[in-house]
Chain A
Amino acid sequence: MTGNRCLGIVLLAAAGALAPGSTALSQATKVPGLVQEGNYDPGNLGMQMQPAPQNGDAGAVYAVGPWPTYTPPLADGEGRELVQSFCGICHSTTYITMQPPLTSATWEAAVNKMIGTFGAPIPEPSAQAIIAYLKSHYTPETRKE
């Protein structure tokens, strides 16, 4: 990122606009119509890997390789490991983070639905701990990220 930021400063310096100790942003206003330049996002927004081509197999098997996963972290707190191990039997915890903040009653109903309707093998004490974790981090009152 340092290199990118330097590029912006070099361009401004070449235009004779850079004064010692000033930021690129304020100096840019001296070029007519230019409001901002040399601003680079240090994140990896938009970065993608390219897949390799298929090999020469002309048989009847059509394969696409493994499915990638993109699972964001769960909020840190008591019960997180239970959530990851039990809920993760059938689905990634992205199913939790992608929800809007849900009420305690809705989370409780969701866990009970997973056990009763979908057949999740979660012992009662663990189910209660999982519900407590979801209430502590994913309701309108508690959700932070």
Chain B
Amino acid sequence: MGRLSRRSLLAWLGSGAAGLALGGQARAQVPPHAATPLPSFTGPGANPYWNGVNPFVSYPQKLPLLRMTDRGIQLETSRPYFLSPFTPNAAFYVRYHLELIPNAVDLSTWRLSLEGNVERPLQLSFDELVKNFKAVSVAAVNQCSGNSRSRFQPRVPGAQWGNGAMGNARWTGVRLRELLASAGIKSVTVQLQFQGLDRGPGPEGKGADAVMKSLDLTDPALDDALVAYLMNDEPLPMLNGFPIRLIVPGKFGVYWIKHLTWIRALTSEDTNYWMATAYHIPDTPKGTTTPAEAASGTLKTVPIGHVRMPVRSFIVVPDGSSKLPSGLPVRVQGIAFSGDGPVAKVEFSEDDGRSWVEATLGTDHGPYSFRTWEHTWRPSRAGKHVIAVRASDAKGNVQPDAPVWNPGGYLWNRVERQALIVGTAS
């Protein structure tokens, strides 16, 4: 920078020139080393931390991630990785339901089957998928249905995610509709069922045997769906679904079947546990209800695949782990997305959500992608501040400032806040 007066330094930082100068180069931020580790659990109150309170652990093909569970494997992505619009494969979260997760796959014997109510059952090798079909790419967010479940009050059982059960990648593969056309879906097909290599030790027909998810053949989300063999232009990590994964832009991650191996055309609605019972949401506005109503047994529910992911936005930095010296502008950065995308607007609040100003949006990578945003904030005084962010999508959905509640812990999309301490500088 050379010699800069204090005044010109502030102008330079505040102008956005800092962002231009460092854009794309210095993108990682890590919190200071923990002087005191987080507690080993939170509750019965809401988890107050951005991520879940789990320790960093090491897994094959992965950077250190936050261990939710270790058999089956559930790993949460830590906050700093969300500074960039695309989540590195090595940092992408992992969520399995059952414990028999492949450690090795033999592509000489593995085949993708299209079967059931089809004209021509297909058995496609990895090589045939790559070579015989047109490659298509889409940037799309994969988010767990239960992302942020640890915010629920009262708390509900399930994976106690903070905000890190999500990630955005550029997925490349074959259009699902093209594969379906090759097999020839016969009339009276109502749903397509998807199943991967991962399974559990439970008895056949029970929930701990295998996870199968189905979507209506007429669901418009299938028009955008891919069978992906590349993730951010690299092969998928084993824990994210090697060799191929179903990509359903706009829908929650539970439908994005990993290690995809069977696609079945069904002539009646899927009644397996993972469709008939699990991952159901109240059939109410925003999928919210009360503990009393849920306990009454009269609540009508639908599979979470009936909705798209509601609009969300996040503050990534500053993360509150360091005190901010007063007098310096603060570059607030984050991401936003909507399953009903694209994101239309992101608003920033310096006063705990009482007033809002529009933030600056980053590059548009497509309607299903993370959209980065930033805002230069000039704190007016030393002391505690609570900043907030909310996003709106092109369909007119605005993030609410009211919590959702349902017994599954799904669909959280409340306005996000970050408490910050600004210290005196003299």
The segment out of B8-16, B155-163, B297-305, B391-399 that lies at the interface is B155-163
Q: A89 is contacted by which of B44, B60, B70, B201 (Cβ under 8 Å)?
A: B201
Docked Cα-Cα span, A48 to B63, in Å, equals 10
Among B57, B103, B202, contact of A90 (Cβ-Cβ < 8 Å)? B202
Separation in Å of the B294 CB from the closest CB of chain A?
A: 12
| B: number of interface residues (CB 8 Å) | 55
Q: Which residues of A contact B (CB under 8 A)?
A: 41, 43, 45-46, 48-49, 51, 59-72, 89-92, 94-95, 97-102, 106, 110, 117-120, 140, 143, 145
Chain B residues with CB under 8 Å of chain A are 33-35, 37, 40-44, 47, 52, 54-61, 64, 67-73, 98-99, 101, 103-109, 150, 155, 157, 159-160, 200-203, 206-209, 238, 242-243, 273, 277
Q: List 25 A-B contacts (CB under 8 A).
A: A59-B108, A62-B104, A62-B107, A63-B105, A64-B60, A64-B103, A65-B60, A67-B60, A67-B70, A67-B101, A68-B58, A90-B99, A91-B71, A92-B70, A94-B69, A94-B70, A94-B71, A99-B41, A100-B155, A119-B202, A119-B206, A119-B208, A119-B209, A140-B43, A140-B44
Chain A contact residues, majority secondary structure? loop
Contact between B243 and A100 (Cβ–Cβ < 8 Å)?
no
The residue of chain A having its C-beta at the shortest distance from the C-beta of B68 within the complex is A98
Once the chains bind, are B206 and A91 in contact (CB under 8 Å)? no
Closest to A89 in B: B201
Complexed CA–CA distance, A20 and B273 (Å): 70
Which chain B residue shows the least CB distance to A39?
B35
Q: Are B201 and A90 in contact (CB under 8 A)?
A: yes
Chain A's closest residue to B45 (CB) is: A100
A118's nearest neighbour on chain B, judged by CB, is: B208
Q: Are A45 and B34 interface neighbours, CB within 8 A? A: yes
Can you name the residue of chain A whose Cβ is closest to the Cβ of B126?
Answer: A60
Assess the B206–A117 pair: CB atoms within 8 A.
yes
Contact for B150 among A100, A101, A118, CB less than 8 A: A100
Evaluate contact between B206 and A118: CB separation under 8 angstroms: yes
> A121 — nearest CB in chain B belongs to which residue?
B203
A95 contact set on B, CB distance < 8 A: 69
Among B33, B73, B208, chain A packs the most CB atoms within 10 A around the CB of: B208
Please name all residues of chain A whose beta carbon is closer than 8 Å to the beta carbon of B52 when the two chains form the complex. Answer: 98
Q: Bound state CA distance, A108 and B242, in angstroms?
A: 37
A140, B209: Cα distance in complex, Å: 32
